[in-house]
Amino acid sequence: MIIFILKFIHLISLFFAGGGAIGSAVIQSIYKKEGKVPEPHLAKGFRILAFLSLLAVITMWVTGLIMLISIYGSFNLGWTFHMKLLGASLILIPVAYVNFHLQQASKKQIPPNPKVIKYTTSASRIGLILAIAGAVGTFI
């Protein structure tokens, strides 16, 4: 039962992390095409979405680690699992950094650096693909 709950939370968190990423990417691309900077309320919305994504990714790490230890008792599940971990790290680090950057930008009342947004978004997308492909390859 505990594994069922952990896996359920693991996958619901994937939904939150992916939903936040796709939602903000769609809105940002519309603003970029129009050449406009998001107004303060929308910028606050982006910060909340980024924070929710960070919470979701941390939850995936915590539930993933507990499942790993309780079901397999080792990290030695083959190269696909290592790819999954690489992907999960490529999500965690940029998402943590973008949260820090958005908080700093908001404190200084300056717009976020578009390069930071671009590179963190690309890294976390690659990470998501590696992590999902790694999960499918490992647990098939």
Smallest gap from residue 79 Cβ to ligand HEM (A): 15
Smallest gap from residue 91 Cβ to ligand HEM (A): 5
In the complex, which residues of this chain contact ligand HEM (CB under 6 A)?
7, 10, 14, 57, 60-61, 64-65, 67-68, 71, 85, 88, 91, 128, 131-132, 135, 139
Smallest gap from residue 23 Cβ to ligand HEM (A): 17
Smallest gap from residue 53 Cβ to ligand HEM (A): 10
Choice between 38 and 50, CB closer to ligand HEM: 50
Choice between 74 and 109, CB closer to ligand HEM: 74
Choice between 89 and 106, CB closer to ligand HEM: 89
3-state per-residue secondary structure call for the chain: CHHHHHHHHHHHHHHHHHHHHHHHHHHHHHHHHHCCCCCHHHHHHHHHHHHHHHHHHHHHHHHHHHHHHHHHCCCCCCHHHHHHHHHHHHHHHHHHHHHHHHHHHHHHCCCCCHHHHHHHHHHHHHHHHHHHHHHHHHHC
